[in-house]
Structure formats: C-alpha cells, structure tokens
Structure 1
Amino acid sequence: MANPLSKGWKYLMASFDNKIDENADPKVQIQQATEAAQQQHQQIMQHASQIIGQQKQLEMKLNRLVSDRDKLQDQARQAIQLADKSAAAGDATKAQEFNNTAEVFASQLVAVEQQLEQTTALHQQAEAAAKDAVAKSKESEMRLKDQMSQIDALRAQADQAQMQETVTKSMDSLNQFGGNDGSVPTLDAVREKIERRYADALGAQELTQNTVSDRMAEIQQSGTDQRAAVRLEQLRAEALGTAPAATGQLESGVTDAKELVDETPDASGTNGSAMK
C-alpha cells in the first residue's frame, strides 16, 4: 500500500509544477529550451571529441609499435648475420653471443607484434566509433540549427502574443475604464450618474415652469397690463376732450380685464367666478 504522505507530497509537487507552467513567462521558457538544446549539442560534441581523441591516441601508439617492430626486425637480422659470419670465421664464441642477441631481439619483436595486433584491433574499433561520433555531431548540429529556427519563430510568436494582449487590455480600458480597479468608477457608472443628475435638473426645471403660482402670476400680469392700457386711454381721452365717447370704451376694456381675471383658474383647477 502506498504511503499517503508520499502520495500527497507527489500530488502537491505535480500541482505546483502545473501552476508554475501556467504562470511562467513564455520568453523565459523559450530561453530555458534554448539553453537546454545548446547544452545537449555541446555534450554530444564533447563526447565525439573524446572518441576521436582516443582514436588519434591509438593511431599514434600503432605508428610507434610499427616503428619498434621494424627496428627489432632489423636488429634481429643483423645479429643473425653477424652470428653467421662469426661461425664462418671459426669464432664459435662470438657466433653464440650474436645468436643470443638475436634471440633477445626476437623475443622483444614477438611482444611488440602482439601489442601491435591488439592495438590494431582497438584502433579499428576506435576508428569506427570516431566515424559514428562525427556523423552524430553533424546530425546534432543540424538539429540544433532547426531547433534554433523554431525557437526564433516561437520567440516572435510570443512577442506578437504579448503585444496583442497589451492592445486588448488597452482597448478594454478604453471601453470600460476602471474595470480592473475597484477604486476607479466604470464608464457605465459615470454615465448613469451624469444622466441621472441631468434628468433631475430637467424635471426640476419643468416643475418650476409649470407651477400654478407662476401661471397665476402670468395671468395677473396680463390683467394688470390690460388695466394699464385702459387707464392710459382714459387719460388720453381726457387730455383731448373726448372723454364721453371714450368712457364707454374704457369701461368696456375694464370689464374685459375683470372677466379675464375672473376666468383665471386657481390651484384647485376652478375659475374665479365659480369660487364666487
């Protein structure tokens, strides 16, 4: 049975990793991918370099062993030839010494030839490994170039996405300023407040213009103007000596003015004559 604490810890870590991936900056992740691709290519190149280095080292050892083999062969031949000359000259002791020397050279030659055989096999293996390493290094280089091209495209897309998000946020702020800040009113709220105040002002103005007292004052002013006109005509008639004829007209005008005032509605909606 799995340990609950271990299982919970793994779940929390996986959730934490998901949160990091969701909130991570794409540019930072692109940079991480770039560094990882370059590091992987560098490791492949370093490994290939080591393999090629081993092949070169075995090649140098192989050349040295070949030189030692040729040298020992020449020395062994010379010793045999000298031994033969000494034997032909009747010097058996010296002939034996040269034969012993030839045997030493022969023993050394056998050892060198064994090393040469082993080194040749290792060199062949190293040469094949070096060719494979070179091929893989070239493949890694091509893959890195392709990855870098993709990374450049992703970086350009990330820049475009970031600019698009900036433009979108700017447009949202124009259409609805203050939407992201609770301390700043929204455009709709400001518009509603202005329209409400304007409507209240229009209502108050309409009430002021249509009050009964204003209407009564207007009518009374009209009656006063009529009476003033009648009085003016009366004075003009007296001054011109035509008072009798004008008197009837003036009385008629006064009567009309009174009737106008009597017909004016009061606050209850009835006229003056009805109230009498």
Structure 2
Amino acid sequence: MANPLSKGWKYLMASFDNKIDQNADPKVQIQQATEAAQKQHQEIMQHASQIIGQQKQLEMKLNRLVTDRDKLQDQARQAIQLADKAANDGDSVKAQEFNNTAEVFASQLVAVEQQLEQTTALHQQAEVAAKDAVAKSKESEMRLKEQMSQIDALRAQADQAKMQETVTKSMDSLNQFGSQDSSVPTLDAVRDKIERRYADALGAQELTQNTVGDRMAEIQQSGTDMRASARLEELRAEALGTSTASKGQLEAGVEEAEELIDEPSGSTPAAEDSEGTEGTEKK
C-alpha cells in the first residue's frame, strides 16, 4: 500500500509543475529548450571527441611501439652479428656477452610485440568507435539545426501571439473607455426624455383647446365678426338708401353682436346656450 504522505507530496508536486507550465512565459520555455538542445549536442560532441582522442592516442602508441619493435629488432640482430664475429675471432667471452645482450633485446622485443598486438586490437576498436562517434556527431549537428529552425518558428509564433494579446488588451481598453458611464445619461435616454416632454406638451395643448376659455374666445371672435358684418350692411344701406325696415334689422343684428361681445368671461356653457336660445327667439 502506497504511503499517503508520499502520494500527497507527489500530487502536490505534479499540481505545482502543472501550474508552472500554465503560467510560464513561452519565450522562457523556448530558451530553456534551446539551451537543452545545445547542451545535448555539446555532450555528444564532447563524447565523440573523447572517443576520437582515444583512437588518436592509441594510434600514437601504436606508432611508438612499431618504432620500438624495429629498433629492438635492429639491436638484437646487431648483437647477434657481434657475437658471431667474436666467436669467429675466438673470443668466447665477448661472444657470450653479445649473446646475452641479444637475448635481452629479444626479451624486450617480445614484450613490445605483445604490447603492439594488444594496442593494434584496441586501435581497431577505437577506430570503429571513432567512426561511429563522427556519424553521431553529424546526426546531432543536423538535429540541432532542425531544432533551432523549429525554435525560430516557435519564437516567431510566440512573438505573434504576444502581439495578438497586446492588440486584444488594447481593444479591451478601448471598449472600456468607450463604455457609457452610469453617472452620465445616454443620448437615447435624453432623446426619450425630450420626446416624452414634447408629447406631454402636445397632449396638454390638445386639452386646453377644448376648455371653456377657448370656446368663449371663439364666441367673442364670432360676435366681432357678426358686428363687423352688420356694420358693413348698415354702411351699404346708407349708401344705397335702403328702407327703414332693413335698417331696423341691421340695428338688431348689431345689438345682438354687441351682447355677445359684452358677455362676462365667467359664464358657463349652459348660460351661453340659454342666451343663444333667447337671441334666437328675439330674431
């Protein structure tokens, strides 16, 4: 059974890593990926250089052993020749010394040849490893170039995304500045208020047109018109010498018009109707 504390700690770390990834700057992550790719390529190149260096070192040792072998072979031959010459000259002691020297050279030659054989085998292995390291280094270089190309594209996309975010924030700021302040009335509200007041004024005017005062004014205006018409007829009668009866009718019409004009302003519509009826009966 898993330890609850360990399980909770792993969960917290995973959640923390997830939050870091969500809030991380893409350009910083791109830079981290770039550094990681470059570091990996450097490690591969360093390892390849070490392998190639070992191959070169074994090659130098191999050349040195070959030189030592050739030198020991020459010295052993020379010692053998001197020992043979001393033996021919009858100097056995000297011949023995040269033989002993030849044996020492031969022993050294055998050791060098063994080292040479081992070094040759190691050099062959190092040569194969060096070729493989060179191939891997080239692959790593090509992979790094491809990664850098992708990184450049990601950087361009990150810059474009950041620019788009800046434009979006600017548009949001403009929208905030363009929004209507709640403490200031809108044009639509002011227009509705003006139209409402204008409509109320039209309604009040329509009501006042039907009041008693307006009707009295109409009656007074009608009486003035009747008086003017009667006066005009009187003047026409005088000018044309009309009969006395016609003149009396004109005077009655003038008096009726004067009564209509001189009626008090506080009379009710009922009184006006009764007076109109009396005037009709007089006529």
Q: Is the pair's TM-score, using the shorter chain for normalization, greater than 0.5?
A: yes
Structure 2 distance, partners of 1:188, 1:98, is: 118
Structure 2 distance, partners of 1:35, 1:201, is: 69
Q: Normalising by the residue count of structure 1, what TM-score does the alignment of the two structures yield?
A: 0.76
Task: Give the unaligned 5+ runs of structure 2.
Answer: 239-246, 274-283
> Highest relative contact order (Cα 8 Å, sep 6+), 1 or 2?
2
1:164-220 Cα distance to aligned partner (Å, 9 max, x none)? 33334444555xx23xxxxx7945968985433432333233324433698269985
Structure 1 distance, partners of 2:262, 2:204, is: 23
Instruction: State the one-letter code of the partner of 2:39.
Output: Q
1:207 aligns with 2:212: no
Distance 1:205 1:85, change over 3 A: same
Distance 1:202 1:113, change over 3 A: same
User: What is residue 181 of structure 1 aligned with on the other side?
Assistant: none
% identical aligned pairs? 65
Work out which of the two has the higher radius of gyration on C-alpha atoms and give 1 or 2: 2
Once the two structures are TM-superposed, the CA of residue 35 in structure 1 deviates from its matched residue by: 1.2
1:255 aligns with 2:254: no
Instruction: State the one-letter code of the partner of 1:119.
Output: T
User: What is residue 154 of structure 1 aligned with on the other side?
Assistant: 154
Structure 2 distance, partners of 1:65, 1:24, is: 60
Structure 2 distance, partners of 1:123, 1:257, is: 146
Once the two structures are TM-superposed, the CA of residue 107 in structure 1 deviates from its matched residue by: 1.1
RMSD, aligned CA: 4.0
Q: Is the 8 A contact 1:48 1:134 kept in 2?
A: yes
Instruction: State the one-letter code of the partner of 2:139.
Output: E
Task: Give the unaligned 5+ runs of structure 1.
Answer: 179-183, 263-270
Once the two structures are TM-superposed, the CA of residue 3 in structure 1 deviates from its matched residue by: 1.2
Q: Please list, as runs of the form range in 1=range in 2, the aligned pairs for 1:63-74 lying within 5 A after superposition.
A: 63-74=63-74
User: What is residue 136 of structure 1 aligned with on the other side?
Assistant: 136
Q: Please list, as runs of the form range in 1=range in 2, the aligned pairs for 1:50-89 lying within 5 A after superposition.
A: 50-89=50-89
Q: Normalising by the residue count of structure 2, what TM-score does the alignment of the two structures yield?
A: 0.74
Structure 2 distance, partners of 1:28, 1:83, is: 81
Aligned partner of residue 90 in structure 2, secondary structure: coil
1:91 aligns with 2:91: yes
Q: Is the 8 A contact 2:37 2:147 kept in 1?
A: yes
Q: Is the 8 A contact 2:224 2:257 kept in 1?
A: no
- Equivalent pairs counted in the alignment come to 258
Structure 1 distance, partners of 2:19, 2:62, is: 59
User: What is residue 10 of structure 1 aligned with on the other side?
Assistant: 10
Q: Is the 8 A contact 1:230 1:250 kept in 2?
A: no
